[in-house]
Structure 1
Amino acid sequence: MTRSHSQMVALAAPKVLVLAALSLSATSCTLAAGNIQSRTTQGATGSAAPSGASAAQRLFGQVNTLLLQKYGGLSTVDRAQLARDYQAKLDAACLPTGADCARETAYPVIEAEIDALKDDHSFFERPDEYQSFEAEATGGSRLQFGVRLAQLDGESRVVTAVIPGSAAADADLRRGDVLKTIGAAPYTYDALKKAREAGTPVTLGVQRGTGTLDVTVTSRDSSTRDLPHMTRVGSVDVIVIPTFLAGGGVADRVHELVAQANREKASGIVVDLRGNGGGNLFECDESASAFVTNFARLSRSEGGDTRTVVSMGTRLEDGRSSDSVAVPAFWTGPLSVVVDKNSASCSEFFAFEIQYSGRGPIVGETTAGVGNTATQVFPLGDVALQLTVINYVKPDGTPYPTQVKPDVPGQDDIQALTQGQDVLLTAAIQALKNAPTAVSPGANQQPGQPGTVPANNRSK
């Protein structure tokens, strides 16, 4: 069965993660991508509020119905007591207006309640956040420059990625560029954000290596779709996966790139997941299956356990095909994976499957820490609730870790990047020298335990 992305929506990860990696490709700095298990296109299926209640109370009731009936995460907080506690807070907030209490009055109360659940993968999305998320989840368009930035000297000013087809790409902004001025003034991220919102041309003073240049760019509505791409460093192919949230096509593209690396006889592959906040779990699993012979897990929810097995781009749910890539490919050569503190959720699943199978070293920083659950987005009119609905273990009962700890620790050096030196990528390429090769697909392996061949036993 091939994928049907109209039935799926990728999910948003914890708001706190995004502040460390600001993105001008979003309409706000409050959303990043996370895992997906399934999608609902309807609102909450019930409400704790009577039909004559205020709009604020009705929304609060919908949220708490979902919280009580659908939550499948690892929080041990008493959710019924949580609802009672925050009902009192909503009553106090709505006291001045009574039955006319607006929906917006419930927003901060609901946000505080979901924070009190102590589940980093669950949160409430206000209208602007949900709108931005929907655009990114479907690969739709929004007003953007299309550039991702890292901090240097207290400002988000170093270009780390440019979305193809965006205004930034047309202006020839490049990874490693440093934004020094905006207009006639010293650069600030706030000034760039205002220029984006205004949609007017802005001239940026850019430092590129040891030189400087002026770049004029105007934000415009353009696609948020940011599919994997590959570059070659020497004889090594580097596959960058910016997100697993791109309106579909991520896994198919990864398999295409792996096939290309095979044809071009690359000596190794580095998969770069830095800044990848997650996305669609099907895309993540099927991408990982281009490198791991097969793997398995159990998903645990209120409705019971489901066994997932993934191999050669196909996912089986309790023995039945649920999704697959169009043309699968497989890489048997040396592999390493680069992660950082902003690699979250679905990218943590990818990295863990590589690490658990012994397929290759993970290089970089300890990941964000939300890689053991899947979430579902429940639209509630123009707002939405993201809620953890499933947690995962390996078939032997081993829980998925919240964080992936690298085999080769290291940190990005943004200052070095401005001079064209990618420290972690260099370390990942170096790590390929001791990386194992994989057993080819079709070998008799136990699910979740693909074989590898130690580096010193490889045929020359």
Structure 2
Amino acid sequence: MSRKLSWGAAVALVAVTASVTVSLTYVYAMKSFNTKVADINERQAMYTKLSEIDQKTRQDYIGSVNEKELNDGICAGYAAGLGNSQAKYLSAEKYKAYLNGSSEKSIGVGIKTVQDKDGNMEVIEVTPGSPAEKSGIKKGDTIVSMDDKEIVRLTYGDALNKLDGAAGSKVKFGILRRQNAAGPSAEAKAALLSITVTRAEYAEQTLTSSMINGNVAYLKISAFTDSNAEQFNNMLAARIKQGASGIVIDLRSNSGGSIRGMAEMLDTLLPAGNTVSYRDKAGKTTVQYTSGPNTVNLPISVMINRNTFGVAEIFAADIKDYKKGLLVGERTAGLGTKDEVKPLSDGSAIILPVADYLTLNGDVFSGKGIGVDIEKELTSEQQALLVRNQLKGDQDPQLQAAVSALIRQGASVEKAPGTENAPVNSNAAATE
């Protein structure tokens, strides 16, 4: 009798378990279904609204509709609506230019500018060998117009975009050049020049080095490229051969760039281990790059600021997390996403952040930035000089703090920090 009851209980238990399983599966399925239906309804509402706008525009708009520009504008608006500054839509033309510009060389004019107090473009750097240099544009020139349109009417951002373009295309600059008249009491005079530049391919200068404070190797990296790791290694080896007792790496205002080039530089500096990892939408962590066992056994200081972006932040974080050196300056920008270009069927593309880069400890730094070991800020006047590559070593508290940090790590520096008069200038610094 009891045996029959136990078999019956077992059957009942199986039935109940199956029922619960089916119920849970049903609940999950319904929840998933409802989510999908909600997504479909939301997308349908978006399409309906867009169709309504299109219908009313074509019915009553007094202007003409350029279908291509309209489609590109809609797609750009979608990317902007994601609320992520890294998400961008590229028209077919811009995507083609992007592919051309992703090589080691750029196509355009070859200058760097800042916006002056009048809204014009002050030239702070002319790339050696660039079309701008060959056409006679000089550091310190002020661009007041492009193709006979005033910069203040174009807006500074639009003017920046017009510096690059197809090889062989021309751009006409209206340039204000200040010249000192002869004589001790003479006042500076300004001449308005017209210079036409033919856009062409040129190699950007992203890495320079010099010896400061007698025996400190100073390396400035403005951006990482696929090939400048070899140049970095050669420069560093030359400085070590000269007797460098410590290394200062300047990543201030580094715009990021090639993850591979950055990882290859870390391979020179760090011991064996992971250097670049990211976590995707599904929560999967992938190790993208590692370093080998060889390392440089010298104290290192890395200078960073609020304009240090992307892969440069990974570089700084790894130096800090491996306890290979000290970070000096200000917290970085906090743009630590892995972005991928997704080509579209009509030749255009969309750039989407698809994963978060991680620190060695597995932390996401996007939106937060990388903190420093030694905090040191510049005044607004010092920052203006730094941007223009005119800040001298004895006027740069971040550089002085970086050299002092080497001493804290055991470096024997020949001269006291701040005694160097040479400007921290990517153009003026001696290179190997």
Please indicate the TM-score interval, normalised by the length of the shorter structure.
Answer: 0.5 to 0.7
CA distance in structure 2 between the partners assigned to 1:198 and 1:228 by the alignment: 25
- Residues 457, 202 of structure 1: CA spacing in aligned structure 2 closer, same or farther, 3 A cutoff? closer
> Which whole-Å CA distance do the structure 2 matches of 1:419 and 1:279 have between them?
21
Tell me the TM-score normalized by structure 2. Answer: 0.64
After superposition, give the CA deviation of every residue in 1:93-148 in whole Å (9 maximum; x if it has no partner). Answer: 443679x994543333333333333333222123454344333211345231x111
- Structure 1 counterpart of 2:267, which letter? S
Larger radius of gyration: 2
- Matching residue of 1:385: 350
Cα distance in 2 for partners of 1:392, 1:228 equals 23
The corresponding residue for 1:87 is 47
The separation in 1 between residues aligned to 2:287 and 2:390, in whole angstroms, is: 45
Please name the residue that 2:222 is paired with. 242
Query: Larger relative CO (CA 8 A, sep 6+): 1 or 2?
Result: 1
Instruction: Classify 1:218/1:423 alpha carbon distance in 2 versus 1 (closer, same or farther; 3 Å).
Output: farther
Q: Distance in 1 between matches of 2:389 and 2:222?
A: 22
Displacement of 1:278: 1.8
Matched residue type, 1:307: V
Cα distance per residue 1:274-297 (max 9 Å; x no partner):
333222211122223333324425
Match of 1:219 in 2: 197
SS in 1 for 2:247: strand
Give per-residue Cα distances to partners, 1:396-452, cap 9 Å, x unaligned: 533335312333231363544569325798334322344359xxxxxxxxxxxxxxx
1:247-396 alignment, distance < 5 Å: 248-296=226-274, 297-301=276-280, 304-312=284-292, 331-371=296-336, 373-380=337-344, 381-394=346-359, 396=361
- SS across alignment from 2:339: strand
**Structure 2 vs 1, CA of residues 425 and 398 (structure 1 numbering), >3 Å: closer, same or farther?**
farther
Indicate the SS of the match to 2:208.
strand
Match of residue 409 from structure 1 = 376
Structure 1 residues 419 and 278, CA gap change in structure 2 (3 angstroms): closer
* Secondary structure in 1 matching 2:370: coil
Q: Can you list the C-alpha shifts for 1:27-53, whole angstroms capped at 9, x where unaligned?
A: xxxxxxxxxxxxxxxxxxxxxxxxxxx
Q: 1:424 to 1:124 in 2, by over 3 A?
A: farther
Q: Are the equivalent residues in 2 in contact too, given 1:149–1:158 (CA < 8 A)?
A: yes
- Residues 229 and 261, structure 2, Cα contact 8 Å, conserved in 1: yes
Secondary structure of 1:289's aligned partner: helix
The one-letter code sitting in structure 1 at the alignment partner of 2:321 is Y
Q: TM-score, normalised by structure 1?
A: 0.61
Percent sequence identity over aligned pairs: 19
Q: How many residues align?
A: 344
Q: Which amino acid aligns with 1:301?
A: D
Q: In angstroms, what is the RMSD of aligned CA positions?
A: 4.3
Structure 2 residue ranges without an equivalent (≥5): 1-37, 60-64, 164-168, 181-186, 415-432
2:396 alignment partner, SS class: helix
Which residue does 1:20 correspond to in 2?
A: none
Deviation at 1:340, TM superposition (A): 3.3
* Secondary structure in structure 2 of the residue aligned to 1:138: coil
Measured in 2, the distance between the counterparts of 1:135 and 1:269 equals: 35
Q: Secondary structure at the match of 1:276?
A: coil
TM-fit CA distance, 1:350: 1.7
The 1:346/1:161 distance shift into structure 2, 3 A limit, reads farther
1:142 maps to amino acid: I
CA offset at residue 309 of structure 1? 4.6
Cα distance in 1 for partners of 2:395, 2:49 equals: 49
1:106 alignment partner, SS class:
helix
CA distance in 2, matches of 1:344, 1:370: 6
Counterpart residue type for residue 340 of structure 1: N
Shift of 1:339: 2.9
